[in-house]
Amino acid sequence: MAALLVNSFTINSTHIVAFLQNTGAALVEITSAYVNGLITAIVNLVKIAPNAVGAVILTGSFLAGNTYNVKLGTIFNTEVTFQASF
């Protein structure tokens, strides 16, 4: 299995970029993304090797002063969730 940790993220008015670390022993692919419960486009194909860090780039319209709930789904039907404030 795979275990993903959020190393860091950046956010601006059009993108959220999350840097995820795969601490597990299997390759992980990010298959879905939601921001505040709404499906969100993933710009890049994300496959993260064991013991590596990968970037997930999400598009949207983000406003300063707001906090966004981000949920990323993987091929293993596991989720990574975090809050991104702009």
pTM (2 d.p.): 0.90
Query: What's the burial of 26, exposed, middle or buried (CB within 10 Å: 0-12/13-18/19+)?
Result: middle
CA distance 78 to 63: 28
Whether 24 is in a domain gets the answer yes
Query: Is the CB of residue 26 less than 8 Å from the CB of residue 70?
Result: no
77 inside domain:
no
Separation of alpha carbons 14 and 57, rounded Å: 10
**Is there a contact between 18 and 70 (Cβ–Cβ < 8 Å)?**
yes
Show pLDDT as tens, one digit a residue, over the chain (86 residues).
Answer: 568 999 999 999 999 999 999 999 999 999 999 999 999 999 999 999 999 999 999 999 999 999 999 999 999 988 999 999 98
- Domain residue limits at 39: 4-65
Domains in the chain, number:
1
